[in-house]
Amino acid sequence: MKIFTHRSSWLMALAMVAGLASCNEDEEKFIPPGEDKFDMAPLHVLNDVSQYWNTSLFGPGNGFADFLEAENQYQTISLPAMERTDPSATNLWNVYMNTELNRPYSEADMARVVGYSKEKSVAIYAMNDGDQLDNLNAFTKKFNFEFEQGPVGAVSLKAGGSVTPANGGFFLKLEGDWEILAEAGGKPVVAIKQMERSVVIASGIDIFSNRKAENVAFFKTMAEGALDKGAAFVSLSPKNTVAFDSKLEEGKFSLSSASYIADLLPDAKERLGEVFTELQTQTGYGEGADALDISLMPSGDPLSEFENGYLVGAYAGGFPADNDQMTFELGKALHQWSGASSGEALDSLGLSTYVSAMVAENMGVANAVDRFVKPIIEKAKAHPDYQAYDPVTMSEEELKAFPQEVAEGKYLEVIDGLRAKYGDDAVMKFHEKKKEILPAGYKVTPHDLTWIWGNTLDDKVAVFEAFKSKGYSVNADQVTMPGSYNDEFVDPDKFTSYGPQHSSYPTKRLYDGRYDFWHTVWGSSAPPFPHEVVIDMKEAKKLAYIKYYPRNSTSLKDHLTEAEFYVSDDEQNWGEPVGVFVWRKAYTKDTKDIYFTKFKTGRYFKMVIREFWRRGKVDPNNTFSCIAELQLFEFKSYK
């Protein structure tokens, strides 16, 4: 069962509730949706009757729901609060319900859901925020319910009585070599795990009011734990610190947004080294009065002030190579945010935005990247309260006029425009295209199947847009952004090589500098994928990127579509790939520069071809590969 925290997940929750509540007024019993409609188990739990619709828990295979089920409780749905203080949310709710039901969502609808929930011994998970408790109290008063303390973060619901607030947060269900950093009631709530090239932190801690010292201690524990593991970045949402400050005026929990990290970890910058200066130089982020002592990476949904997992994790490089495994580990640990594109450890709002635009463009939206990603960053800088706009359905005239129409809380999703174009097939088509666009090291995983298109802006979106669009990653000890370093062509004169080859088209043709090509055996004798070619450079080189020259065959249109690249000193222990290449587009004879996301020194270079197209597709009866030329370039120095 998956957990979603992006605002678009609210719409899904609302749609589900709409479906649940669409029975006739005279029906005596509320009927939940079946598995055939939503691809999940029947929903038996009323969830999150709060101002922000936080922590909506639904979908297959989620650890928290499994935990509830293990405690003889149930799964969850979201309903609106009985008393709403957020006008925009109220309007959103009314508009959506009117659209789905062709009438407002009535008290009778809710009463039927409540009646069904009573029959099923409902469990509720809610944060201990004052506004939400007010809403829960209003709900219980209206329907004569009471809440009973259950596991951390969960309370049982039964008829009669009043609210007993839950402790914010939930226990982590840890498997494997997690190091526990903090406990509550003798059970883990914060843990850290060393990945191959990254550090992941799982946190079950909510932000709840009037506990400043406790939250500072938890944040400090998580941040220091990440740094002790050698993390390059601690992931924090800058929107959160703004939320903290706004709560200060209400006499609630707050931290200073300008000095947040400096107060928490005064030696962080020294411990992390020069990478922050380099990042600020490359992105232009962190200058002037708003400069922080550490670069903040977006993590979390900026639309909702108080959500779980403000400090989601930390990176020690490997972006985004460790994404799948980190998501898996977070999911196993019951991390609330492992299902959200905006909060998962190696995802971000900016990356989601950029990928969304790329997918939209590949689905026929002209110039989506130029129309969406670049202007939206400038608009975000000029309008800090502005969240997003829709590049898919807006006309050129509307786009030009849009800066004057910016309003706080306004947002749209790329998928909305695509759905208008493709109907109900939009989701399927979106992910078909997405798999073609993302590099081989960034596979589609369960957390990724629904919400990657979220385009709500964080005001630091430019940081991740720079990562993706400029094609570089930041590791703990290096910056591999193209143009930031001096390189040199590696002379292939002494190269030797081996791998699958046709006798007339040997592997040495990959680097001979002549107008010819390397080719495996073809036809019925063609070797199955993957095809591995190893080049011995005879001396160690710190490789930075390669140039790939496709075979100049406009009739056959033979071209590489998926490959990984490795560097090693011993031909045996290759480690993680230093670079990946994916090109599932139309054949072109143009040279393609493949920049590595990690500099690595070694004598041997290996290319692993996992897919190759002939005439626009894989031929299962003719699994050959062919390449005209590979040129290797080594890193020499930073500029």
Give the tens place of pLDDT for each residue, 306-326. Answer: 222 222 222 222 233 333 344
Averaged pLDDT, 617-624: 89
Gap between the Cα atoms of 91 and 93, Å rounded: 5
DSSP string, 60-81: TT-HHHHHHHHTT----EE---
Statement to judge: residues 421 and 495 lie in one domain: no
Are 140 and 161 spatial neighbours (Cβ–Cβ below 8 Å)? yes
C-alpha pair distances (Å), 252 with each of 164, 169, 207, 344, 424: 20, 18, 11, 27, 44
Look at residues 159, 192, 224 and tell me which one is the last residue of a structural domain. 159
pLDDT value at position 617? 85
Query: pLDDT at residue 527 above 80?
Result: yes
pLDDT value at position 200? 55
Contacts of residue 506, defined as CB under 8 A and 6 or more positions apart, other chains included, come to 518
Statement to judge: residues 316 and 443 lie in one domain: no
Statement to judge: residues 102 and 215 lie in one domain: no
pLDDT in tens, 570-605: 998 998 888 878 776 778 888 888 878 677 899 999
For residue 617, the 8-state DSSP code is: B
| CATH for 592 | 2.60.120.260
pLDDT value at position 38? 23
Domain with 364, as residue range(s), is 350-479
Backbone angles phi, psi at 189, to 5 degrees: -125, -15
DSSP string, 159-203: ESS---PPPSS------SSPEEEEEETTEEEEEEEE-SS-EEEEE
Averaged pLDDT, 110-119: 46
Report which listed range, 113-117, 133-137, 445-449, 495-499, is most confident.
495-499
pLDDT value at position 596? 82
* Any domain includes 172: no
Q: Which residue has the higher pLDDT, 553 or 295?
A: 553
pLDDT value at position 180? 75
Look at residues 283, 317, 346 and tell me which one is the last residue of a structural domain. 346
* Any domain includes 506: yes
Gap between the Cα atoms of 502 and 524, Å rounded: 13
* Any domain includes 173: no
Query: pLDDT at residue 396 above 90?
Result: no
Domain count for the chain:
4
Look at residues 277, 312, 346 and tell me which one is the last residue of a structural domain. 346
pLDDT value at position 595? 79
* Any domain includes 166: no
* Any domain includes 169: no
Statement to judge: residues 93 and 219 lie in one domain: no
Statement to judge: residues 384 and 274 lie in one domain: no
Query: pLDDT at residue 627 above 90?
Result: yes
Gap between the Cα atoms of 358 and 370, Å rounded: 10
pLDDT value at position 201? 56
Statement to judge: residues 16 and 153 lie in one domain: yes
* Any domain includes 104: yes
pLDDT in tens, 63-94: 333 333 333 333 333 333 322 333 333 322 22
Query: pLDDT at residue 486 above 70?
Result: yes
pLDDT value at position 221? 59
Statement to judge: residues 373 and 294 lie in one domain: no
Place of tokens 């795990």: 193
Statement to judge: residues 574 and 600 lie in one domain: yes
Report which listed range, 23-27, 223-227, 266-270, is most confident.
223-227
Statement to judge: residues 245 and 220 lie in one domain: yes
Are 551 and 559 spatial neighbours (Cβ–Cβ below 8 Å)? yes
Statement to judge: residues 331 and 359 lie in one domain: no
Statement to judge: residues 431 and 499 lie in one domain: no
Contacts of residue 156, defined as CB under 8 A and 6 or more positions apart, other chains included, come to 73, 121, 122, 123, 124, 147, 148, 149, 150
Q: Which residue has the higher pLDDT, 492 or 128?
A: 492
Query: pLDDT at residue 522 above 70?
Result: yes
* Any domain includes 313: yes
The CA-CA-CA angle for residues 373, 487, 538, to 5°, reads 130
Place of tokens 């993680």: 576
Averaged pLDDT, 144-149: 45
Report which listed range, 78-92, 104-118, 121-135, 437-451, is most confident.
104-118
The 145-149 sheet, strands edge to edge: 123-125, 154-159, 145-149
* Any domain includes 387: yes
If DSSP codes are grouped into helix, strand and coil, which group holds residue 438? coil
Gap between the Cα atoms of 29 and 558, Å rounded: 61
Query: pLDDT at residue 625 above 50?
Result: yes
Residue 623 pLDDT level (bands cut at 50, 70, 90): very high
For residue 458, the 8-state DSSP code is: P
pLDDT value at position 108? 53
Statement to judge: residues 355 and 447 lie in one domain: yes
